[in-house]
Structures are given as structure tokens and as C-alpha cells.
Amino acid sequence: MIDPSAELIEKWARVSASEPSGHEWRAVALNAIAPLRILVGVREPDNKIALILEAPLAEAPKEFIHFTANGLTVADQRRFGENIYRVAIVLERSEVRDVFEVLAADIVTVVASASNTKTAIRATTRRLEAWQACLRSGRRGLTLEEQIGLFGEVAVLEMLGDAAGYKEAVAAWGGPLDSIHDFSARGIAFEVKSSTGVGNRIQISTLNQLETEGLNQLLVVRLRLREDSNGITLNEYIGKIRVKIDEPSATDPDFGERLLRLGYLLSDSSLYENNRWVNEGFRFYEVMQGFPRLVNSDIPAGVIDGAYVIDEQALLPFRREIDAFELAAEKMLGKLR
């Protein structure tokens, strides 16, 4: 569909200038063909702008969705007297209006892309949960460390997608969904560790990260990036993957929502234009008996979690070649011939 941003902005201005109605909301409908009723409105009496989605009450999901994050509120309203299920997304703080406008346009696109009411509600709930994760930090943009980490995970995603298809590769990308390992499926897992420079330090952030219980195989994928003016930016790399997936972001919810959960927004793209990187290659290490690591079973009772650093030089006995990774990837994605 056409980007709804301009219509949203115009109608918020129109409704904000209108006379109070004496009701909780005053709103006008958006010109979008969609399975949910989409309203652009303001809340009375404080005149806070909102995006409102409505459906028959019988279509309401069992779970309620309600949260406040970084100046935005999502409210789940079930009006039995009116037979209406309503989700109201409200801008509570004007200083984050630019983010709110992006969120609202994104939600409208998600709703309009759905084929029926139940699908629209399910897709909207999932996308709002992704936005909640994105807004959780309360700051704009990814740190340099987070950019490097995302670049590395996208590089592994590209290897998997090129080899076995992007639908399966994206489904295995569990890091953004708070999975224990960055990629996992069918008893195989990959933990991606990216860095710049020449150091040998590998940062392990939790005691679960190198846990092999319940797995047939766990590989640490080591990626080293070099800053280079001839390299590729994070934005360009993500754009390249979108082209390979061959679907616009609006109809590619799995990839888009994972990026969103990690805090990557297209509206912040200017923050990522200065850093260009070249991938200097991958190294693969298999986590097995003797691998230097800490896991929960090694830790005294009372210690809940911890982070530590591994010297990469100590991993040489566990190094594997690219064919070992490729075989593991085929098993992970169910493509083993």
C-alpha cells in the first residue's frame, strides 16, 4: 500500500483542531482498505494524538495487550456495551512524536496487509510486542557494539539464507527473540561473536550462552570486521538482505520484526551511515568437552548469572573448517541431503 504517513499527519492536525466531543476519543477514519477499522484521533480531554484500531468484540484475543514505553502507551479496551474491541496507541510525550509517527505508519501497513480480522489482530499484536522490545531501552539508535553484533548476525543469516533459503534461515534466527543462542533449530546452534580490531578476546555475556545441554552441536562463529571506506554500512547490508528475501518489509514480518526487536529502525538510519566495514572472514569453533567455558552446572549455588572473556588463542584445538559449519547448517535448516 501507499505510505500512510502523510495522511496520518494531516488527519491528526484536523482532529486536534476540531471541537471537543465529550467522549473519550474523537477521531476520523483512515482511507485504507483493511480488515480492522483504522481511526486517527485524539484522546479527550488532554488532546493526545492516537492511532485507534477497532473490531467486533467477538474477534478480541484472549490475551490483553497493554504497555507504556518511552512516551507511548498501548491500551486494550473492550467495550461490551458498544460491542467493540479497541486498541489505542497514544503519544504521551511530544518529544518522541517522530518515533510515534513511524510506529503508527508501520502498524497501519501491517493491518492493511492482513487478509482477515483474526490475522490482522494477530499480526498487530506481534508487531506491537516487537515495538515494545525496541522501545524498552528508552534511547535512540544502536550503540557501536550493538551495530557490530547485528552486522555479524546478519552475515551469518546471509550464509544460511544463501545455502538453504531465507525463510528457514530467518526462522532459526532466535537471538532477537531472546533465545539462548543466536541461531538454533533441530538440535544445532550457532553463537555469533563479532569484533573489530586485532584482539583475541571473546566476550561471553551469560552463563547460558555456551550451554550445550539439549543440543547435538554448538558452534561459535567468530567474525572479524575491519573499518574501511570501501566497505558496507549496516543500512546497506540490511537492504541487501531485504532484496535477497525478495519481499518488502511490510510483507516480511519475521525479518522486519527481528530487526525491530533489536532496536533497528529505518527512521534512525542516518545514525549508521558513517561506519563502513569489511568482513575479514569467519572462524568456527565447536563447543565440546574441554572447551574453556562456564555453564550453570559449574557455578556454586547462589550465583545467578555472570559474564566472562575467553582468549581466542585457547580455542585453536576446537577450530573447525567451513565444511563443518556448512554441514551443521544443513542439519539446522533441514536441508541435509
Angle, alpha carbons 55-61-67 (nearest 5°): 95
Mean pLDDT, range 22-36, rounded to an integer: 93
What digits encode the pLDDT tens for the residues 41-85?
A: 999 999 999 999 999 999 999 999 999 988 999 999 999 999 999
Q: Check if the beta carbon of residue 320 is closer than 8 Å to that of residue 266.
A: no
- Mean pLDDT calculated for residue range 229-251: 82
- pLDDT at residue 251 greater than cutoff 60: no
Report whether pLDDT(212) > 90: yes
What pLDDT score does 141 carry? 86
- Find, among 249, 247, 325, the residue nearest to 283 by Cα: 325
Are the C-beta atoms of 39 and 52 separated by less than 8 Å? Answer: yes
Q: Tell me what the pLDDT averaged over the chain comes to.
A: 92
For residue 319, the surrounding DSSP H or E stretch is strand 319-320
The confidence score (pLDDT) of residue 198 equals 80
Question: How many angstroms separate the CA atoms of 87 and 250, rounded?
Answer: 20
Separation CA 185–CA 336 (nearest Å): 13
More confident of the two residues 288 and 22: 288
DSSP state of 87: E
Q: Report pLDDT digits (tens) over 73-111.
A: 999 999 999 999 999 999 999 999 999 999 999 999 999
Residue 234's closest CA among 161, 133, 142? 142
Read off the C-alpha cell for 146.
550493538
Interstrand relation of 67-69 and 72-79 (parallel, antiparallel or unpaired): antiparallel
What is the per-residue pLDDT for 258?
A: 94
d(CA 200, CA 181) in angstroms, rounded, equals 21
Asked whether residue 236 carries a pLDDT value surpassing 90, the answer given is yes
pLDDT tens, residue by residue, 175-208: 999 999 999 999 999 999 999 988 899 999 999 9
The pLDDT of residue 136: 80
